[in-house]
A and B are shown apart, each in its own frame.
Chain A
Amino acid sequence: MTDEPAAYRTHWLTWLFATLVLVPTILGFANKFLDLVLVVQGDEDGAFAVTPIVNYLLATAGFLCLFVWTATQGAFQNLDEPSHSMMENEHRLDQQT
């Protein structure tokens, strides 16, 4: 059902944007996290920053697990398939009414 060029486009666009987004953010975040560790070690007052960071880390850890689980379930194998089945189901629902 998926035509070749669409699948190819999906493939490279997905990787391109994923890289564009991920690389600077991981670098930036790691750098700032290092800052946090230094602040917490040297300055007791800076420790309050732990609250928002821990919030974020917990949320992200949850998402990372979900992401890995989703990948292992094969959700990223045929990326355009859900889109096509959704259109087909909609069509069938509309035909009834």
Chain B
Amino acid sequence: MTAAPAVLNTDQDFPHHQELVEERLVLWYFIAALTFMVVSMLAGILMGLQLIRHNPLPAVELLSPGRWRMVHTNAIAYGFLANAFLGIMHWVVPRLTLRPCFSRSLSYAIFAAWQLVVLATAVGILLGQAQGVEWGETPVWIDPVALFGLLLVAINFGTPILQTRGPMYVTLWYYLAALVWTFLTYAMGNFVPEYFVCGSSAGAVGGLFIHDLVGLFVTPLGWGMMYYFVPILLKRPMWSHGLSLVGFWGLAFFYPLQGIHHFLYTPIPMFLQYGAVLSTIALEMVVVTVIINFLGTLHGTGGLALTNLPLRYFYTGILFYFLTCLQCALQVTMTFQALIHFTDWVVGHAHMVMFGVFSMWQFGAMTYLIPRIFKTDWYSPQWCEWHYWASAGGLSVMAGDLILAGLFQGWSWAALQPWDASIRLSIPFWSVRIVAGLAMFGAQILFIVNFYLTWRKSLRVGPERAVSPSGNSATA
């Protein structure tokens, strides 16, 4: 529990990577994440097939599309994104703080418990026990267990972070805040509408919850890892650490008020809706600071973002982040909202954020870390390239297709055409979504096979050589 200065001077004092990072656990988290990604994508494909009237499992109540949709979103949020972030944190936090996590056995216990929570959520949803809160469908009886799990996660990672002395690196700020925010957001979203308030009031809290889940759980963990991986891959510090702190504090102050921008034109009072609009505009400025900073860091070494695959993932994610924020700037105006509300524009936006930004970043981190941990190059760097192109390409088609579909649906409703007409015009778009989804799905299967064969290769050949920390082992 003794304090450590930010840089330890003598080599004897300096901890070893092996003492700090529990590499096996990082891999287990990645395996769990990819497993849930497969489950979620299968559920997405089933739901997508239902929308084009080709439900392959008709008349099976347990497998009805409404339930699959919830499995799709929950498995992605809590199964894929959360697991991948936890795995990445097990690498990043100890290396940044130069201290291991609070307890090794607690780390493994959390891993096992979290998988049980996600599995129980999926089973509960399929059995029809979903809680009536968007993104909080986890059955009511699992909520306290999940919350307890989040508390343990906060203790496990919070301890080394709080023990660091001196000014903290921005990643640690993001991580520390995410640990507290996720716990509070989860409690607010699952308990307040369930037990304390109802009607529009519960709706307003629900709005805060769904947005805060993206902004206070996924976003800080995502940017936190980016501020770590990008400089070390580029071998140069962030362009401006001060600017990155503006981004952090901006998020802290403005994000929590934004949730209601999901519920524009609802019975929630207009001043609250306008409040959400205003803080969204303020946050757009914050986003600009973050993007300038990452572009500034890349300045002069732009070619690396093309040739180094993990970096390409990271900067592709930044590009999609910029695009989603641009969409937000439009979406948050009442005029535009009137057109796209309830349309597939929003679904396109959701896929672009969750897959195009955060999943891409996580794939970048996995592509970089897996060979480092196995101490051998990827079994097939070529397949890594395919994984990238099919994921990024599939997502671009899917998001573009749904965004367009949303505009047509909005115009159809604005022209007061019958509901059926908007369904008919949507079918071609929904069919394209399935094709794009299959490409994305195929990419993940290829990645998983590559992961498995890289593991087999590492057993066969033993540690080949120290894999370059530059992340080039994935470059074909």
Task: Specify whether A and B are partners.
Answer: yes
Chain A neighbourhood of B256, CB < 8 A: 55-56, 59-60
Q: Which residues of chain B from 149 to 176 have any CB-CB distance to chain A below 8 Å in the complex? A: 166-171
Q: How far, in whole Å, are A88 and B98 apart by their CA atoms in the complex?
A: 12
Q: How far, in whole Å, are A63 and B249 apart by their CA atoms in the complex?
A: 8
Q: How far, in whole Å, are A93 and B249 apart by their CA atoms in the complex?
A: 30
Measured between C-beta atoms, what is the minimum distance from A83 to chain B in Å? 4
Measured between C-beta atoms, what is the minimum distance from B249 to chain A in Å? 6
Q: Does any Cβ of B come within 8 Å of A41's Cβ?
A: no
Q: How far, in whole Å, are A6 and B259 apart by their CA atoms in the complex?
A: 36
Q: How far, in whole Å, are A84 and B237 apart by their CA atoms in the complex?
A: 6
Q: Contact size class for A?
A: 35 or more
Q: Does any Cβ of B come within 8 Å of A67's Cβ?
A: yes
With A74-B167, A82-B6, A82-B170 in contact, do A87 and B200 touch (Cβ < 8 Å)? no
Q: How far, in whole Å, are A10 and B268 apart by their CA atoms in the complex?
A: 41
Q: How far, in whole Å, are A20 and B247 apart by their CA atoms in the complex?
A: 12
Q: Of all chain B residues, which has the CB nearest A93? A: B17
With A48-B200, A85-B6, A97-B17 in contact, do A20 and B285 touch (Cβ < 8 Å)? yes
User: B7, A89: Cβ atoms under 8 Å?
Assistant: yes
Q: Of all chain B residues, which has the CB nearest A38? A: B271
Q: Of all chain A residues, which has the CB nearest B165? A: A73
Contact of B282 among A25, A77, A82, A83 (CB under 8 A): A25
Q: Which residues of chain B from 182 to 231 have any CB-CB distance to chain A below 8 Å in the complex? A: 184, 188, 192, 197, 199-201, 204-205, 207-208, 228, 231
Contact of A82 among B192, B241, B254 (CB under 8 A): B241
User: A11, B188: Cβ atoms under 8 Å?
Assistant: no
**A interface footprint on B434-476 (CB within 8 Å = 1, 0 otherwise):** 0000000000000000000000000000000010010000000
User: B278, A87: Cβ atoms under 8 Å?
Assistant: no
Q: Of all chain A residues, which has the CB nearest B244? A: A83
Q: Does any Cβ of B come within 8 Å of A69's Cβ?
A: no
Q: Contact size class for B?
A: 35 or more
Chain B neighbourhood of A59, CB < 8 A: 184, 256
User: A76, B197: Cβ atoms under 8 Å?
Assistant: no
Chain B neighbourhood of A11, CB < 8 A: 242
Q: How far, in whole Å, are A57 and B296 apart by their CA atoms in the complex?
A: 34
Q: Which residues of chain A from 44 to 96 have any CB-CB distance to chain B below 8 Å in the complex? A: 46, 48-49, 51-53, 55-56, 59-60, 63, 67, 73-90, 92-94, 96
With A11-B242, A79-B245, A80-B240 in contact, do A17 and B285 touch (Cβ < 8 Å)? yes
Contact of B232 among A18, A49, A80, A87 (CB under 8 A): A87
Q: Does any Cβ of A come within 8 Å of B370's Cβ?
A: no
User: B243, A17: Cβ atoms under 8 Å?
Assistant: yes
Measured between C-beta atoms, what is the minimum distance from B231 to chain A in Å? 6
Q: How far, in whole Å, are A9 and B259 apart by their CA atoms in the complex?
A: 34
Q: How far, in whole Å, are A56 and B166 apart by their CA atoms in the complex?
A: 29
Chain A neighbourhood of B275, CB < 8 A: 28-29, 32
Contact of B242 among A24, A28, A79, A97 (CB under 8 A): A79
Contact of A51 among B98, B205, B228 (CB under 8 A): B205
Chain B neighbourhood of A25, CB < 8 A: 253-254, 278-279, 282
Chain A neighbourhood of B279, CB < 8 A: 25, 28-29
Q: Of all chain A residues, which has the CB nearest B98? A: A89
Q: Does any Cβ of A come within 8 Å of B260's Cβ?
A: yes
Measured between C-beta atoms, what is the minimum distance from B141 to chain A in Å? 25
Chain B neighbourhood of A74, CB < 8 A: 167
Contact of A13 among B7, B243, B257 (CB under 8 A): B243
With A10-B242, A17-B289, A77-B167 in contact, do A63 and B197 touch (Cβ < 8 Å)? no
Q: Does any Cβ of A come within 8 Å of B252's Cβ?
A: yes
Q: Does any Cβ of A come within 8 Å of B119's Cβ?
A: no
Contact of A80 among B17, B237, B260 (CB under 8 A): B237
Q: Does any Cβ of A come within 8 Å of B274's Cβ?
A: yes
**B interface footprint on A2-34 (CB within 8 Å = 1, 0 otherwise):** 000010011101100110110011001100100
Residue ranges of A at the interface with B (Cβ–Cβ < 8 Å): 6, 9-11, 13-14, 17-18, 20-21, 24-25, 28-29, 32, 35-36, 39, 46, 48-49, 51-53, 55-56, 59-60, 63, 67, 73-90, 92-94, 96-97
Which 4 A-B residue pairs are closest in the complex by CB-CB distance? A79-B242, A28-B278, A35-B271, A10-B242
Residue ranges of B at the interface with A (Cβ–Cβ < 8 Å): 6-8, 14, 16-17, 20, 95-96, 98, 166-171, 184, 188, 192, 197, 199-201, 204-205, 207-208, 228, 231-232, 235-238, 240-243, 245-246, 249-250, 252-254, 256-257, 259-260, 268-269, 271-272, 274-275, 278-279, 281-282, 285-286, 288-289, 466, 469
Q: A32-B275, A74-B167, A78-B167 are in contact. List 4 more A-B contacts (CB 8 A).
A: A32-B274, A32-B278, A67-B249, A89-B7
Query: What are some 10 contacts across the A-B interface (CB < 8 A)?
Result: A10-B241, A21-B282, A29-B275, A48-B200, A52-B208, A52-B260, A67-B252, A81-B167, A86-B237, A87-B232
